[in-house]
Chains A and B, each alone.
Chain A
């Protein structure tokens, strides 16, 4: 009895996860392979040969990659800026960054409907400046989804990077500067390499987050600009096409796992190169 105590402690959690997590997922995996004539790759073949499906897949990848890149480009200098502030200012800036993360994503997408919509702020400004004569359709495009995604995930990248940059010895960039490097060189040669692990973690979070986010593409993309997540929901709930929903689910999981694995390998390689 005493020897097996650990299993008793783990048992409730394991049983619940097995029944309500693993089994349903295995069911999804199986139903994506089952067709009238037994097991087959039919659903996947159909997915990769149908242009309609491929456009959705490419849109999803495109938006996720652009979101990750832009978040990285803007979060790097901003995170460095935050990490240089004194304690009090840093706290306030971090609070402003955390606040959107704790705010419901419906609200965060809704905010952009108000800005990008036909009667939205941007159209009003452009009309007032006489740049356009009629409201232009910015909402329900790939662009509006991408903006919404950047808005959703920029704080995540920011906080991850600040966490890493805070641990960099403040003397290092100063040492580089005293040896003649200017600030930009010091940032690129000293801060950037030391922040790489944070950049990788942040990129994984942002990329897999955008790949799988549902609310933002639903509210800002509409029914014509589907991403994989909104496509799963539509296939399952509106069209009753369980097989498609299942195969897209599996494809989505595989892509996120591949990206996580790939970026981690990249990180290890970069790490090694640094040490050599």
Chain B
């Protein structure tokens, strides 16, 4: 009976080492003095971080990714809030089909969506890369927003609204004053997940990228193909620190469990 315990422990230990060691190695190599990546490192320096902060292409890409994630998430939030409210509060024909349609961008492989959007937006409609990126990322994050917000709308008692209406409150005002405050944590979780998914997206950004408009992950992809130096490790460390901060904020506000659902 004890042996089984050790077996579970051993496998779990193996799995957690497998999950963490590669990221630990990246973190260590970011501080190496050599001009290429070596592990273990021979000296200790912050110069790769300085190089990253002084590189306009990395900084511009970072700002683009940030802007894109914010704009796409907020646009999707507005459209998603309306759609989620319609889906959770009304009954109509083809309701389930329409809901699946709203969630379907997650089923289509992102690489296919990127290819399809590249043809339509860039080649046929001649839209700018920036606009195309916003549309592409909007499509990627909308399903997350609709899924989380319909779920949190379903937990709000419909009689709350009915009371407000019967007391003469207009529907729009009821939505803003009664419903929104009740689903605020759902909205926060939806925005966060949307932001992370947009910021980390690669397949769509690879198809929709131009000479001076390339997201951070796409820029990194291209950089790694030609250079093998610790500046990529340094960027990785910066992004991992941001991820840890986000996880910390989530844990303190919603609890990490909400991101898992």
Give residues in A with beta carbon < 8 Å to B.
5-10, 12-14, 16-17, 20-21, 23-25, 27-28, 31, 74-75, 77-78, 80-82, 84, 91, 93-100, 102-108, 110-115, 119-121, 124, 151, 154-155, 158-159, 163, 177, 182-184, 187, 208, 211-212, 214-215, 218-219, 229, 232-233, 236-237, 242, 245-246, 249, 252-253, 256-257, 260
Residues of the A chain whose Cβ atoms lie less than 8 Å from the Cβ of B224: 106, 110, 113, 219
Q: Nearest Cβ distance between residue A161 and chain B, in whole angstroms? A: 12
Contacts A14-B98, A219-B221, A253-B112 supplied; 5 other A-B pairs, CB < 8 Å: A10-B86, A103-B240, A108-B22, A253-B108, A256-B109
> Is B92 positioned at the interface, with any CB of A under 8 Å from its CB?
yes
Residues of the A chain whose Cβ atoms lie less than 8 Å from the Cβ of B11: 74, 77-78, 81
The secondary structure that dominates the B interface is: helix
Alpha-carbon gap, A13 to B98, bound state (A): 10
Q: How large is the interface on B (under 10, 10 to 19, 20 to 34, 35 or more residues)?
A: 35 or more
With known contacts A13-B142, A107-B236, A159–B4 Cβ distance under 8 A: no
Residues of the A chain whose Cβ atoms lie less than 8 Å from the Cβ of B142: 13, 17
Q: Quick one: closest B residue to A186, CB to CB?
A: B4
Are B23's CB and A28's CB within 8 A? no
Residues of the A chain whose Cβ atoms lie less than 8 Å from the Cβ of B37: 114, 119
Q: Nearest Cβ distance between residue A135 and chain B, in whole angstroms? A: 13
> Is B90 positioned at the interface, with any CB of A under 8 Å from its CB?
yes
Are A28's CB and B4's CB within 8 A? no
Are A24's CB and B107's CB within 8 A? no
Are B116's CB and A27's CB within 8 A? yes
Are A94's CB and B256's CB within 8 A? yes
Are B243's CB and A77's CB within 8 A? no
Are B116's CB and A214's CB within 8 A? no
Give residues in B with beta carbon < 8 Å to A.
1, 4-5, 7-9, 11-12, 14-16, 18-20, 22-23, 25-26, 29, 36-39, 79-80, 82-83, 85-87, 89-90, 92, 98, 101-102, 104-105, 107-113, 115-121, 135, 138-139, 142, 146, 196, 199-200, 202-203, 206-207, 217, 220-221, 224, 228, 232-233, 236, 239-240, 243-244, 246-247, 251, 256, 259-261
Are A183's CB and B1's CB within 8 A? yes
Alpha-carbon gap, A256 to B104, bound state (A): 13
Residues of the A chain whose Cβ atoms lie less than 8 Å from the Cβ of B244: 99
* A-B Cβ contacts below 8 A, count: 243
Are A24's CB and B120's CB within 8 A? yes
With known contacts A10-B98, A111-B22, A252-B109, A78–B247 Cβ distance under 8 A: no
Residues of the B chain whose Cβ atoms lie less than 8 Å from the Cβ of A120: 39
Residues of the A chain whose Cβ atoms lie less than 8 Å from the Cβ of B14: 74
Alpha-carbon gap, A155 to B86, bound state (A): 34
With known contacts A98-B260, A105-B200, A110–B239 Cβ distance under 8 A: no
Are A114's CB and B29's CB within 8 A? yes
Are A24's CB and B23's CB within 8 A? no
Are B79's CB and A111's CB within 8 A? no
Are A95's CB and B256's CB within 8 A? yes
Are B236's CB and A77's CB within 8 A? no
Are A237's CB and B207's CB within 8 A? yes
Are B232's CB and A110's CB within 8 A? yes
With known contacts A100-B23, A154-B19, A215-B202, A28–B119 Cβ distance under 8 A: yes
Residues of the B chain whose Cβ atoms lie less than 8 Å from the Cβ of A12: 79, 82-83
Alpha-carbon gap, A183 to B83, bound state (A): 49
Q: B116 touches which one: A8, A25, A94, A237 (CB < 8 A)?
A: A25
Q: B86 touches which one: A9, A24, A80, A208 (CB < 8 A)?
A: A9
Alpha-carbon gap, A108 to B202, bound state (A): 13
Residues of the B chain whose Cβ atoms lie less than 8 Å from the Cβ of A114: 22, 25-26, 29, 37, 39, 233
Q: Quick one: closest A residue to B138, CB to CB?
A: A16
Q: B12 touches which one: A13, A31, A81, A107 (CB < 8 A)?
A: A81
Alpha-carbon gap, A246 to B12, bound state (A): 42
Alpha-carbon gap, A252 to B207, bound state (A): 17
